Amino acid sequence: MNSLDIKNLKKRYFVWLYKTTKEAFDKYERKFTQVEIDKDILLEMENTLMGSYLPHEKVELEKMVNNFQEYISAKEKACLELKYQGLRTNPEFIFLDVKLNVIEKLIIKELGKKALEEIKALYEKEMTHRILGGAEH
């Protein structure tokens, strides 16, 4: 094997490491970003719907808005329970956070900063493709 073959093997392994670790880490973080976005959506909807509709429409719309609020509250509670165990942070979350940072450092060390940016871009492209293709895991 020549040095390019070895570099390519390392790169593929780093891509796999990054992907699997980032997916596991995102399991925690995505829920918090979803709640943040959902709250923004709810606020905008409430502002848009306030006083704009007839009474018979308003009752149903308020019901739907309240259901969305309950959904957000349940999601927020679930993500807090996933990331935290009482007052402590879930050790798996801490481990994954540290592991992801170490993998990124090693990619830079072995392959350079541009390679890390490329791997991150590949990951984002794959995740977006899964969402758009309906194959989210």
Q: Where are the domains of the chain?
A: 3-133
- Is the predicted pLDDT of residue 116 greater than 60, yes or no? yes
**pLDDT tens figures, 60-76:** 888 899 999 999 999 99
Residue % of the chain over a pLDDT of 90: 68
pLDDT at 58: 79
Would you state the structure tokens that stand for residue 130, as one six-digit string? 């899964």
Name the pTM for this structure. 0.81
pLDDT at 46: 87
Q: Output DSSP code: residue 136.
A: -
- Is the predicted pLDDT of residue 135 greater than 80, yes or no? no
